[in-house]
Structure 1
C-alpha cells in the first residue's frame, strides 16, 4: 500500500506539537503489536483524537487506519487527506461496506482504529459502547487494544470553540493490556469488560493529569472531579436532543427534495401536454 500522505502528515503534526510545546505522557506503547492486525479502541473526547491515538502506534512503527464518519471524507480539505491515509469512511445508514473494508484491512495485517462510543463524550467519561469492535476483532482473529486519551478536549471538542494554537497543553495517552476475544465468547460481556478497561484508563489519566483547570476554565474537567462538564446523564440528554434535531433536518431535506422532484415531474408533464 502506497504511503505518500500519512508519513508527512505525522511529521507535520509532531512539528506543530513541538512548536506549541504540547507535552506528552505516553505509556504502554509496547502493547501495540509490531506486526499483524489489531483493533485499537479509543475513548473519544475531541475532534483530534485520531491524531493522538495514532501516535500511540508510532513507536511500534505502525500506521492506524481509523474508521470515521463519511462526512469527514466529503470535506474538500480533510477528505483527500483521509483517503490518502487510507482511513475507512463509515456511512451510518449503510455500515456493512465499512465493516467489510475494515475486516479486509485487518486480515491484511493492518491496525484499525475505532471510537466505540461513536460520538464525542460531552461528559468526558466513557459512554456506553456497542459490541462492533469486539465482533470485528473476533472475525479478524486479532487482538483488541484499549487506549485512552486525555487533554485534547482543551484544543477542540464538541460545543466549544477551537483552540488549535493553544500552547503548553499536556496530553496523556495510555495503552491498556490487549484483549483476545474469540468465537463463542459472550460478546456483550467482553464489551462490558472493554468498557471497564477504557473507563479505568480514563480515570487514571484524568486523576493523574498534571494540570487542574484555572478559574472559569473547568469546563474540560469531568463533573466527578469537580469540573463543570455535563454529567453522563446530562450529556445523554444533550445527545438525544441533537439526534432528534439532526433527524428533523434530514427529514426536512428529504421532503424538500421529494417536493422539488414532484414539481419537476409535473412541469415536464405539463410541457409535454
Structure 2
C-alpha cells in the first residue's frame, strides 16, 4: 500500500470522496469501473485513505510478470485464469477472502473499457454471482482521471506520459458509493446475477457522472493507444 500511495502522489493529485460507514468485520466487494492500467495503483491509495486493505482480483499475467508478480503472489491478491479450466478457482478464492472479512476489488467489465466516451461497458455476471453467494456488501466505486496517468497500451507510450505527469500532475478522483441495496432481490430467480450486475453498473455510472461533470461526453484527454469500440457499451444514464 505504501508503494501505491507513493506512486499516486508522484504522478497525480488524488481526491477521495464518498462513504466511509461500511459495516466493519464483514466482507466488502468493491466494484470499480476500469479506464486505465493506473486504476489499481490509484485505488490502493484511495483505499488506504479510507482505512481499507484491498485484495484485487487480477488477470494471471500480473502474477507471472517479472517485476510485479512476486508482489501480487505474496500480497493476498486473487488470480483470475481467464478461459481456463481453473477460472472458477478465482470465485472460490474470492469467497474465502470475503468470509475472512476482506475487501475484494473487482472490475465488473472484465477489462479496461474501450467505450469512446470512457463510460463503463456492460458488466460480466461474476460480480453478481459473488454477491449472491457471499451476501457481502456490494460497493459501487467510480474512478476518473487515471486515463491521463498511464496509457491504455502501457508500457507502450508510458514514459512520455510519466515525464509529463511528474511536472503537471493530473487529478485522479475516486468516489466510494453507498452499499447497493439488494433487499428486493430474489436470489432463486433465473437471471438474477445479470440483474444485479446491471443495477451495479447503473450505480457506478451514477457515481461517475459528478466526477467528470466537466467532461460529460468526450474526455478532454484522448489516449492515442486506445482503439475505441462500442460493442460492449452499457446503457447510459442521463441526469
Query: How does the TM-score come out when normalised to structure 2?
Result: 0.79
Q: Secondary structure at the match of 2:142?
A: strand
Contact 2:120 2:205 in 1 (8 A): yes
Contact 2:34 2:109 in 1 (8 A): yes
Alignment partners' CA distance in 1, 2:44 and 2:88: 24
How many residues are aligned here? Answer: 215
Q: Point out where structure 1 has 5 or more consecutive residues left out of the alignment.
A: 1-9, 209-220, 240-273
Alignment partners' CA distance in 2, 1:126 and 1:173: 15
Superimposed CA distance per residue, residues 227-254 of structure 1 (whole angstroms, 9 cap, x where no aligned partner): 7579xx9524699xxxxxxxxxxxxxxx
Q: Point out where structure 2 has 5 or more consecutive residues left out of the alignment.
A: 234-239
**Pairwise CA distance, 1:31:** 4.3
**Pairwise CA distance, 1:205:** 1.1
Greater share of residues in helix: 1
Partner of residue 71, structure 1: 61
Partner of residue 124, structure 2: 130
Partner of residue 147, structure 2: 153
1:105-184 pair list within 5 angstroms: 105-122=97-114, 123=116, 124-159=118-153, 161-162=157-158, 163-165=161-163, 166-167=165-166, 168-181=169-182, 183-184=187-188
Taking a change above 3 Å as real, the CA distance of residues 46 and 31 of structure 1, as seen in their structure-2 partners, is farther
C-alpha RMSD of matched pairs (Å): 2.7
Taking a change above 3 Å as real, the CA distance of residues 108 and 238 of structure 1, as seen in their structure-2 partners, is closer
Partner of residue 5, structure 2: 14
Contact 1:33 1:60 in 2 (8 A): no
Alignment partners' CA distance in 2, 1:76 and 1:196: 37
Larger RCO (CA within 8 A; separation ≥ 6): 2
Partner of residue 61, structure 1: 51
**Pairwise CA distance, 1:33:** 4.1
Larger Rg: 1
Query: How does the TM-score come out when normalised to structure 1?
Result: 0.70
Contact 2:55 2:102 in 1 (8 A): yes
Contact 2:5 2:42 in 1 (8 A): no
1:103 aligns with 2:95: yes
